[in-house]
Amino acid sequence: MASIHPTALVDSKAQLDSSVEIGPYSIIGANVTIGAGTKVGPHVVIEGHTTIGCDNTFFQFSSIGAAPQDKKWDGEPTRLEIGDRNTIREFCTFNTGTMQDAGVTRLGHDNWISAYVHLAHDCQVGNNTIFSNNAQLAGHVRIGDWVILSGFANVHQFCHIGAHAFVGMSTSLTQDVPPYVLLSGNPAAAHGVNVEGLKRRGFTRPQIDGIRTAYKLIYRSNLTLEEAKVALLEEEMASVDAAVQIRAMREFLSTATRGIVR
């Protein structure tokens, strides 16, 4: 049997692994599934059609799986999916999806989510991200792996942030951010490549140099985006060490739907 505090309210239909821990005064709804080793602290509400993987930790006072804050939602059984080994700190709010999108909000694996973070409906968050206190995602936002959002960063609906990007404190994003880019300010502006983060993750010097070259083609060469795509393809084909990284930046430009921060 799961370890459930006597003051917690767990619906009999909820599916909890025998190693799950539920803290005082927490509430677990009927359509919730929680995997092995996950710990839910006190005063946490987990509801909706919510699936949670293994070895997650939820700190007190979070609201997980509540209805989307979208007037178009009409009670459809949309979902929230959370992967493994995530840390979710105090007062976080994660909503389920809507039928106007995939119908599911997703948080991947090994993410560190600090206090007061909001994941709105249909957000798709990858793996190994760090969201500092009060980072806020509007609906339909996509976040790549290893992205860092500093405190009070805000992301407009439908924006896409590429892998390994770094967003500075109190930045408000209304456009897409290519992979590997470091940006901050209001209005948001690019300030180079997230070199320190890439070094920490084991990127080689030739790979980082290739990313820097791609960055210069996008941001420092007075090229239109279409011209930059052509130049990036040429650089990708000529690169021995950084072709994968350059390709990621080039392909991002082709899929950006809100334009890029530039």
Q: Is the peptide bond before 187 cis (omega within 30 degrees of 0)?
A: yes
Establish whether 48 is a catalytic residue.
no
Catalytic position from the list 49, 118, 121, 160:
121
Confirm whether 168 is a catalytic residue: no
Q: What are the φ and ψ backbone dihedral angles of 166, each rounded to 5 degrees?
A: -130, 125
| C-alpha separations of 17 from 34, 39, 57 in Å | 6, 11, 14
Q: Are 109 and 103 in contact (CB under 8 A)?
A: no
User: Residue 187 burial (CB < 10 Å; 0-12/13-18/19+)?
Assistant: exposed
Residues near 256 by Cβ (< 8 Å), separated by ≥ 6? 160, 175, 176, 178
122 is catalytic: yes
Point out the catalytic residue in the list 101, 122, 145, 176. 122
Sign (positive or negative) of CA dihedral 224, 227, 229, 234: negative
Q: Which of 35, 65, 97, 139 is catalytic?
A: 139
CB atoms within 10 A of CB 93: 17
Q: How far is CA 157 from CA 45, 52, 174, in A?
A: 25, 24, 8
What is the rounded CA–CA span in Å between residue 148 and residue 164?
7
* Residues with catalytic roles: 121-122, 139
